[in-house]
Every structure is written in C-alpha cells, then in structure tokens.
Amino acid sequence: MEAQDNISYQAWSSGMKSQYGAENLPQIWFISRTLWLYDKAQSEPSNQTAHITYRKIQKPEADAIRVDTGLTMNLEGYVHQLNADALRHILSTHEGQNETNPRNLPLTITDILRIPEVITYPDLRERSRIKRTGSPAIAYQKRFDGMLYVIEEVRAPNRRKLSIRSVFKMKADGGSSRDGSNATPRVHVQNDTSLTSASDDSIP
C-alpha cells in the first residue's frame, strides 16, 4: 500500500484493477486506507490533514437520506469522509478500555472497518445535529454483535462532505432502563456530548 497522504481513489485503483478485479476495489480501498488512517491517528497526534474519502453520494442514496431524515438539502454529489482527528477522538473515547459508558461495548478495528456497511445498509437512519456548531448530522445504526452507530456531520454547502464525527457500539438490548425494561434510548444523544437529536428540544 502506498504510504502517501490522501491519495485519491482514482490514482490508487488504476494499478489495482487487474490484480483484484474492479468489483472488489471499493471494499479493498476502504480497508487498506482505514488501516493507514488508524496508524496515522495513533502515531501522529498533530496530523490534522490525513483523511480518506471513500464514496460519492448518488441520487438514490441522496433521495433515501432526504426521506429518512427530513433534510431538505440535496446531498447528491457529496462524499463520505473520515479524517484522522475524528478517528483519534473516536478511538480515545470508545476503543477498548477507553469506553466507560456501561451501556456500550468497546469498539474494535473490525467495527471501524464496518462503517461503509452501516452507512450503505443501515437498520435505521435519522436526523441529528452537532450541538457545538448546530450543524445538521445523520445518525446511522446497524446491529452486529451489538448495535453499531455512526454519526456524520453534513458540511455544506461549499465543502460538500458528510464527515464522520462519532462511532460507538451499544449493547444489543440498549442496556437496562430504570424501570427494568430494555427500551433503547436515543443513543446518539447519550453517548457523545457534542451531539444531540434534532427532534428532542429538551436537550441543550
């Protein structure tokens, strides 16, 4: 794998099609570049530019996001992106022993590599927002060995990116509530103090 910051998919894939087959390249690209970014996030605390851009949003996905979230902006042509700073925050908060929320399970690198599947084939996709900036966000969830959540900030209109801000994994039952039930809470509100639900006005 070429150790070059922010190499484009086009530049990378041009030399890989004959070796792996065009249909397998997007998944191989994400895995290889995420492992590269994972290393950057852990070994270079000052690196604020390393990132991976792994898919452009086509019209069907843009339409589905609009229906599920109520966001009125047209996201066709935006790209999904993960940067080193966000990944560093995710790892320092939710990976391994860093995870202190009793409702959650520790994140692993396997969970990070599942991001495209969560975003492409979510069990639930809903609107959220970034509390610190007020920026709109999209929350995705998908059940694996626990319930995996991915939060993307909508960076618009000039940046045209959906940038991952948080990834965490809840226990499959959502944890037990005070009344003994296992109702799943609005987890993206409870697990990251910079995030809140756009539909819950009681959250500051």
Q: Look at residue 7 in the predicted model and tell me its pLDDT.
A: 59
Q: Look at residue 201 in the predicted model and tell me its pLDDT.
A: 24
Instruction: Kindly report the backbone phi and psi dihedral angles of residue 148, in degrees, each rounded to the nearest multiple of 5, phi listed first.
Output: -95, 130
How confident is residue 104, by pLDDT bands cut at 50, 70 and 90? very high
- Across the strands, what pairs with 168? 149
Q: What is the pTM of this model?
A: 0.76
What are the pLDDT digits (tens) for 122-158?
A: 999 999 988 888 889 999 999 998 999 999 999 877 7
Q: Residue range 78-93: average pLDDT?
A: 91
Angle at 25 between CA 20 and CA 27, to 5 degrees: 120
Domain ranges of the chain: 20-196
What are the pLDDT digits (tens) for 164-197?
A: 999 999 998 754 333 333 434 344 433 443 443 3
